[in-house]
Amino acid sequence: MSKKDRMSGNEAVAYAIRQINPDVMPAFPITPSTEIPQMVSTYIANGEMDTEFIPVESEHSSMSAAIGAEAAGARSLTATSSAGLALMWEELLLAASNRMPLVLALVNRTLSGPININCDHSDSMGARDTGWIQIYAENNQEAYDNFIQAYPIAEDKRVHLPVMICQDGFITSHAVENILLEEDAAVKEFVGEYNPEEFLLNPGKPIAVGPYSISSYAMEARYNQELAMENSKEVILEVAKKFKEKFGRGFELFEEYRTEDADYIMLIMGSAAGTAKQAVDDLREKGMKVGVLKLRVFRPFPAEEIAMALKNCKAVAIMDRTESYNGHGGPLASEVTAGLYRSKVMIETVCYTYGLAGRDFTVETAYEIFDELKDVAENGKKVKQHRYIGLRSKERS
């Protein structure tokens, strides 16, 4: 039986970690994810779980220790944000290339500068090509549910890749909201015991992890890693299906909210998707056919599936909560439009950058964007393909 409760996103992830009771958690604190290791160490101190908690001196070390523990045969994880993720950079790539199924609870916070502690996706988006699976949450419930699905995805033989479970810093990590929690035994049963086939601390079956590779092998190894990422798509869907059968809450690679007959669709990730859904309901009442495509799984990137989901609309707003400094939009802008082109879906797109460093994204902002999409599609309004929304400017946008 699910239990109705209320807690913040950080509490929800810590609660899931307690239920899963992984073997090893090395961590170093950084706002806004600090509460996760703090709460986990409290659970450990209270005897509610027996994970080996390793306080380390930096995130470079926390990810290194997590990789080492995982290679040794222990189910491991860590948590971080922003500059902490940046300091893990080299190890993120190693975790993936060594095919370590560890999990990272990421609480999204902007990367400097200007130095700032609030939410945007520049940390995880900067790490988008490190070979990690990335799953984003709209609220505390999804952060909890996604975390429970993380190990079954990562540890599947077809995958063996690390998984980053992302939620928006402060916006969901520190907001108390309603949540449905599952029973400890049910969560443990769903996640299962970790029985790696090959691991370092396995007497009589020696292995070496992460050996130097000359050019004759490294490219093949990378290709195999890419194949594992492609395979993970079906595994993510299978795990989501099992999750729905057990707990009743369904997940896909992305959620299509009132898009079936929509003329205008907003493609967005994270907590702002909820705000956009409210705007959709309000505008639908006024007769405007609008919808939201909330991307849940950013890596692997479901390019073709997104193109198919968007093909019948007139225009789509692609919403990036980070800047790529490339002159034509953020990562979603680039990858979604590339996906549309390859599938020969020639709809209008406008790429918006929003919510940087904690800039609020409101229902009114979403109205404004839908109105602009309509203007583009119906009146041929010319807009810049790469637009900032919610920006102070002398130029009236």
Partner 1 sequence: MNNQGIEIRWHGRGGQGAKSAALLLADVAFKTGAHVQGFPEYGPERMGAPITAYNRISNNEIRVHSNIYFPDLVVVVDETLLAAVDVTAGLKEDGAIIVNTAKKADEIRPLLNGYKGKVYTVDARRISVETLGKYFPNSPMLAAAVAVGKVMDTDLFISEMRASYEHKFAKKPEVIEGNMKALTKTIEELGEVL
Partner 2 sequence: MRTDVNTINEKTPHEDLTEGLMMFAQATSKNFNTGEWRTNTPVFCAEKCKQCLLCAPVCPDSAIPVKDSKRSDFDYDHCKGCGICVKACPFGAIEMREGQ
Interaction site with partner 2 (CB under 8 A): 97-100, 157, 160, 197-198, 205-211, 213, 216-218, 220-221, 223-225
CA distances from 282 to 275, 287, 290, 317 (A): 11, 9, 10, 18
Q: What six digits make up the tokens of 387?
A: 């637009």
What do you get for the CA distance between the two ends of the chain, in Å? 51
Residue in 14, 272, 283, 351 binding partner 1, rule: CB under 8 A: 272
Q: Which does 97 bind (CB under 5 to 8 A by kind): partner 1, partner 2, none?
A: partner 2
Per CB under 8 A, does 360 bind partner 1?
yes
Shortest distance (Å) from residue 184 CB to partner 1: 20
Which distant-in-sequence residues (6+ apart) come within 8 Å of 218 by Cβ? none
Q: Which is nearer to partner 1, 310 or 366 (CB)?
A: 366
Whole-angstrom distance, CA of residue 111 vs CA of residue 261: 38
CA dihedral (185, 191, 192, 198) positive or negative: negative
Q: Which is nearer to partner 2, 213 or 397 (CB)?
A: 213
Q: Which does 206 bind (CB under 5 to 8 A by kind): partner 2, partner 1, none?
A: partner 2
Contact 73, 101 (CB under 8 A): no
Shortest distance (Å) from residue 217 CB to partner 2: 6
Whole-angstrom distance, CA of residue 397 vs CA of residue 385: 12
Shortest distance (Å) from residue 315 CB to partner 1: 23
* Residue whose C-alpha is closest to residue 331's, from 346, 314, 318, 345: 318
Residues in binding contact with partner 1, number by CB under 8 A: 26
Residue in 213, 278, 326, 397 binding partner 1, rule: CB under 8 A: 278
| Residue range at the interface with partner 1 (CB under 8 A); choices 62-70, 191-199, 325-333, 361-369 | 361-369
Q: Which is nearer to partner 2, 115 or 218 (CB)?
A: 218
Kindly state the DSSP code that residue 83 receives in the 8-state scheme.
H
Per CB under 8 A, does 227 bind partner 1?
no
Shortest distance (Å) from residue 94 CB to partner 2: 10
Q: Which is nearer to partner 2, 216 or 379 (CB)?
A: 216
Q: Give φ, ψ of 230 to 5 degrees.
A: -65, -40
Which residues are paired to 6 by β-bridges?
Answer: 178
Per CB under 8 A, does 171 bind partner 1?
yes
Q: Which does 221 bind (CB under 5 to 8 A by kind): partner 1, partner 2, none?
A: partner 2
CA dihedral (104, 106, 112, 117) positive or negative: negative
Q: Which is nearer to partner 1, 117 or 347 (CB)?
A: 117
Q: Which is nearer to partner 2, 97 or 275 (CB)?
A: 97
Q: Can you tell me which residue has the tokens 């190990």? A: 151
Whole-angstrom distance, CA of residue 177 vs CA of residue 182: 16
* Residue whose C-alpha is closest to residue 146's, from 46, 270, 266: 270
Per CB under 8 A, does 83 bind partner 1?
no
Binding-site ranges for partner 1 (CB under 8 A):
6, 32, 117-118, 138-139, 168, 170-172, 174-178, 271-272, 274-275, 277-278, 358, 360-363
